[in-house]
Amino acid sequence: MVACPSCRCARILIHVDAGRRARCLDCGATWLQDGAWQHSVTAAGNGSAARAVAKISVPNGVSSMDLALAVVGELQRAARAEVVGHDVAGGVPEITLRLPVPLTRRLELQYMQIGSTIERAKELYRSVMENREALLTSLALAQEVRSHNRAALEQLVATRESARQLLSAAS
């Protein structure tokens, strides 16, 4: 029995390709399974472990092809999966399935999208309001400077006028 070198769990997934990369369905550790020899073990980081979503017991003597066909058959039966293609890429057989997505899940995704759009709109609104605030502040500042300048000019004119009056009174 092959077990995870990290947590000793027996629920593991071995990729049926030349790489023989195996992954623990419990802790998410990965390693190379070379016969009974395990090497290049990578322990799963915190929270990044791929969790098992289904537990399938495989009786002795069942090949990986039998298992794959059984899983596809079960997905066709229970989840109305549709086989849309099969191929062998790099020596690895592939089966492409199309699965109907339940309406609730679709709505959930749309709801999430709408949520993020609203969030983005709020951000834009906030940034526009901040810019508007800054614009109003500089406008008020400019008006203040202008009225200050006008007052200074009026004072200058008044000073010149009183100087002229003083001069004409003196002469």
CB under 5 A: which stretch of 25-33, 74-82, 102-110, 111-119 binds Zn ion?
25-33
97: number of CA atoms within 13 Å, CB side? 15
- Dmax over CA atoms of the chain, in Å, equals 129
Query: Between residues 9 and 95, which has the closer beta carbon with respect to Zn ion?
Result: 9
Query: Between residues 29 and 81, which has the closer beta carbon with respect to Zn ion?
Result: 29
| Main-chain dihedrals φ then ψ at residue 30, nearest 5 degrees | -125, 155
**Whole-number minimum distance, CB 29 to Zn ion, in Å?**
5
Please select the residue that binds Zn ion; options are 1, 2, 3, 4, rule is CB under 5 A. Answer: 4
Q: Which amino acid is at 146?
A: R
Residue 41: strand, helix, or coil: strand
* CB atoms near residue 33 (< 10 Å): 20
Residue 94: C-alpha distances to residues 8, 22, 145 (Å)? 29, 17, 75
Query: Between residues 7 and 72, which has the closer beta carbon with respect to Zn ion?
Result: 7
DSSP code of residue 106: H
Residue 152: C-alpha distances to residues 6, 43, 159 (Å)? 82, 77, 10
Please select the residue that binds Zn ion; options are 1, 2, 3, 7, rule is CB under 5 A. Answer: 7
Task: Decide: is 26 part of the binding site for Zn ion (CB under 5 A).
Answer: yes
Query: Between residues 23 and 81, which has the closer beta carbon with respect to Zn ion?
Result: 23
Please select the residue that binds Zn ion; options are 22, 23, 24, 30, rule is CB under 5 A. Answer: 24
Task: Decide: is 9 part of the binding site for Zn ion (CB under 5 A).
Answer: yes
**Whole-number minimum distance, CB 88 to Zn ion, in Å?**
30
Task: Decide: is 50 part of the binding site for Zn ion (CB under 5 A).
Answer: no
Task: Decide: is 27 part of the binding site for Zn ion (CB under 5 A).
Answer: yes
* CB atoms near residue 81 (< 10 Å): 18
Which parts of this chain interact with Zn ion (CB under 5 A)? 4, 6-7, 9, 24, 26-27, 29
